[in-house]
């Protein structure tokens, strides 16, 4: 298999990132817990895919799997992850590090976990640039200053020699974004990149991400709980629940015409300008624990439209117009559940869910 870092640009009709049937498991003394269960999606060149859901839905674990930074004992236990048509989920650590720096950039929520406090931001930027691009120190320093200016750091010629503790939280996050952009990656996995920033800086970062997609064909996987950021930035959105995708489709379609009852609940909990309601809608209950995933659809204990099949059979994603939704309400032939159908042994033992 060829090294993905050497792969040419993908054909126009091929996704840049393809995730098929991804499974992430955590072995424990009481058995194996399945945190990501049979997740499939793609991202095209220049596209922003937003990934939303409650805490514990599996958003960040999916992103960590793609960039090869799953925390042990977590492991990719099934499925494939392909970049530019070449698998990257089975690469040895040294090759994955080259892919992660050159082909895939990463932006995390807490910039303090991404920056080394013992080195100036310039040293960290220059080291990353010279590792992945054919530049000498002077050329790398010039590019580092340009990157700092691009992400909105004032007086970058002076601030490049300062240390992370000399930057505010918002400015540190901009430095992290500059680090992610160092080698002109084809894909950026951004995990809550605007959470630590105020609204005006959020708007600048969103504009930067959109410009990268437009000008360089960079694809972005944008993980966030903020539907406002998704609505402003994403082309498509995937709604995750209990380790699976509940709904995925064009962002405007999903926001305006949500199909899955969970997505409907999420949209109903967002305040809108001019809304004259005493209180927002809420989704009763909580996300199930990994060791207590219910049979059938994982959302069924909280669903206002639950019926018998939801408690028995797990729905896979099915097409409904431009959207795919994992809900029996949208099955073309609302068939009754199979009587006495045995549950898959792996489903019962490993916590598979729907």
Cα torsion angle, 239, 78, 91, 30, sign: positive
Whether the per-residue pLDDT at 30 is higher than 90: the answer is no
Output phi, psi for 144, to 5 deg.
-60, -40
- Of the chain, the percentage scoring pLDDT greater than 70 comes to 86
At 196, the pLDDT band (50, 70, 90 cuts) reads low
pLDDT at 112: 74
More confident residue, 181 or 268: 181
Burial class of residue 225 (count of CB atoms within 10 Å of its CB; 0-12, 13-18, 19+) = middle
- Confidence band, pLDDT 50/70/90 cuts, at residue 317: very high
Question: Quick check: 268 pLDDT over 90?
Answer: no
First-to-last C-alpha distance (Å) of the chain: 34
* Mean pLDDT, range 299-325, rounded to an integer: 95
Burial class (CB in 10 A: 0-12, 13-18, 19+), 291: exposed
Which pLDDT score is estimated for 13?
73
Which pLDDT value is given to residue 347? Answer: 42
Contacts (Cβ under 8 Å, ≥6 apart) of 272: none
For residue 345, pLDDT over 60 is answered with no
For every residue of 54-100, which 3-state class applies, written as one string? Answer: CCCCCHHHHHHHHHCCCCCCCEEEEEEEEECCEECCCCCHHHHHHHH
Q: How confident is the prediction for the chain on average, in pLDDT?
A: 86
pTM of the model: 0.85
Taking the C-alpha atoms of residue 226 and residue 298, their distance in angstroms, rounded to an integer, is 23
Residue 340 has pLDDT above 80, yes or no: no
Residues in a beta bridge with 219: 187
Question: What average pLDDT does the segment 237-266 reach?
Answer: 95
The sign of the dihedral angle between the CA atoms of 216, 221, 226, 228 is: positive
Average pLDDT over residues 50-57: 92
Kindly state the average pLDDT of the residues 332-336.
59
Give me the mean pLDDT over the 269-293 stretch. 75
- Over residues 148-170, mean pLDDT: 92
Buried/exposed 4-30: b ≥16 CB within 10 Å, e otherwise = bbeeeebeeeebbbbbeebbbbbeeee
Q: Retrieve residue 197's tokens.
A: 């920033």
Q: Which residues have CB under 8 Å from 167's CB, separation 6+?
A: 121, 159, 175
If residue 26 lies in a helix (H) or strand (E), which one and from where to where? strand 17-28
Looking at residue 9, what is its pLDDT?
Answer: 46
Helix (H, G, I), strand (E, B) or coil at 345: helix
Residue range 311-322: average pLDDT?
A: 95
Contact by Cβ (8 Å): 206, 194: yes
Residues 6+ apart with CB under 8 A from 32: 25, 26, 77, 349, 350, 351
Q: List, for residues 83-94, the tens digit of each pLDDT value.
A: 999 999 999 999
pLDDT for the residue numbered 199 = 80
pLDDT in tens, 116-132: 999 999 999 999 999 99
Residue 202, pLDDT > 90, answer no
- Which of the two residues, 177 and 336, has the higher pLDDT score? 177
pLDDT of residue 111: 74
**Given this model, what pLDDT does residue 197 score?**
74
Mean pLDDT of 131-137: 94
In this prediction, residues 239-262 reach a mean pLDDT of 96
What pLDDT was estimated at residue 8?
42
Rounded average pLDDT over 292-302: 95
pLDDT at 292: 92
* pLDDT at 338 exceeding the cut of 60: no
Please give the average per-residue pLDDT across 264-282, as a whole number. Answer: 70
Rounded to an integer, the average pLDDT of 226-240 is: 91
Q: Is pLDDT larger for residue 164 or for residue 110?
A: 164
pLDDT band at 279 (very low <50, low <70, confident <90, very high): low
Which of 351 and 205 is assigned the larger pLDDT?
A: 205
Predicted confidence at residue 335, as pLDDT, reads 45
């Amino acid at each position: 298999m060829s090294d993905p870092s050497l792969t040419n640009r993908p054909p126009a009709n091929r996704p840049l990132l393809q995730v098929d049937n991804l499974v992430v498991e955590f072995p424990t003394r009481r058995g194996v817990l399945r945190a990501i269960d049979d997740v499939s999606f793609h991202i095209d060149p220049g596209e922003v895919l937003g990934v939303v859901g409650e805490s514990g839905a599996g958003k960040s674990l999916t992103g960590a799997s793609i960039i090869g930074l799953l925390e042990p004992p977590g492991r990719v236990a099934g499925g494939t992850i392909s970049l530019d048509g070449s698998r990257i989920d089975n690469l040895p650590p040294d090759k994955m590090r080259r892919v992660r720096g050159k082909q895939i950039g990463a932006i995390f929520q807490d910039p303090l976990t991404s920056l080394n406090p013992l080195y100036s931001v310039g040293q960290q930027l220059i080291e990353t640039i010279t590792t992945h691009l054919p530049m000498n120190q002077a050329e790398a320093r010039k590019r580092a200053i340009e990157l700092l200016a691009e992400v909105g750091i004032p007086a970058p010629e002076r601030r490049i020699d300062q240390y992370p503790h000399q930057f505010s939280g918002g400015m540190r996050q901009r430095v992290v974004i500059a680090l992610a952009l160092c080698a002109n990656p084809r894909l950026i996995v951004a995990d809550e990149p605007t959470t630590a920033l105020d609204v005006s800086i959020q708007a600048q970062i969103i504009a930067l991400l959109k410009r990268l997609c437009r000008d360089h064909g960079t694809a972005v996987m944008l993980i966030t709980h903020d539907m406002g950021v998704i609505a402003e930035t994403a082309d498509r959105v995937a709604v995750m629940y209990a380790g699976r995708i509940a709904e995925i489709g064009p962002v405007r379609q999903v926001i305006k015409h949500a199909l899955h009852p969970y997505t409907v609940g999420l949209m109903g909990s967002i305040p809108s300008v001019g809304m004259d309601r005493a209180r927002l809608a809420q989704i009763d209950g909580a996300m199930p624990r990994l060791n207590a995933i219910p049979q059938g659809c994982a959302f069924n204990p909280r669903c206002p439209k639950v019926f018998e099949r939801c408690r028995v059979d797990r729905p896979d994603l099915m097409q409904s117009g431009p959207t795919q939704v994992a809900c029996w309400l949208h099955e073309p032939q609302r068939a009754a559940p199979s009587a006495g159908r045995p549950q898959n042994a792996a489903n019962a033992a490993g916590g598979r869910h729907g």
